[in-house]
Amino acid sequence: MKQRVSLITLAARDIEKRARFYESFGWERVEDTEGMVAFDLIGQTLGFCSVEALGEEIGVPEETQGLAAMALAHNVPSKEDATEVLHLIEMAGAKGMREAQDVFWGGNHGDFSDPKRHIWEMARNPHAPLGPKSECQWEGFN
């Protein structure tokens, strides 16, 4: 099995509303598929489907799904980019959780949550430089 995450699926009660949030800061959706909106990322896809559909897909009724703790990260090339992008996303309706700040491991990061409380980290990580196509390369792994 190759070390890869191909699709990140987030459940949403209102798929179109979630899609419009991500489009409001410049992301472009790929063609909608049956019951799912997808955004083509660099080497991955972020998709939204209904809470009901996800429950059916994984065989767990909606009322017993609960909340799963998860954070998504978006790496940027510089500290200034982290601050700038966090500001842009907050203007689109995200809730700022932590301003971009230097951290002990040598990077800089801040956090926000989208309108459905999916948590994102905006980071400049010297241990995960971005490759020529902006792909994350943890410790230079490509």
For residue 37, the domain's CATH number is: 3.10.180.10
* Residue 107 DSSP code: -
Domain carrying residue 111: 69-142
The model scores a pTM over 0.75:
no
124 or 6, which is more confident?
124
Are residue 62 and residue 93 in the same domain, yes or no? no
pLDDT of residue 20: 93
Domain boundary, last residue among 37, 67, 97: 67
Are residue 82 and residue 56 in the same domain, yes or no? no
Are residue 59 and residue 95 in the same domain, yes or no? no
Are residue 59 and residue 79 in the same domain, yes or no? no
Domain boundary, last residue among 41, 67, 93: 67
CA distances from 56 to 48, 50, 52, 63, 105 (A): 14, 10, 6, 12, 41
Six token digits for residue 135: 């792909």
pLDDT tens, residue by residue, 78-120: 888 888 888 898 999 988 888 888 988 788 888 888 887 788 8
pLDDT of residue 69: 52
CA distances from 51 to 66, 113, 139 (A): 11, 18, 36
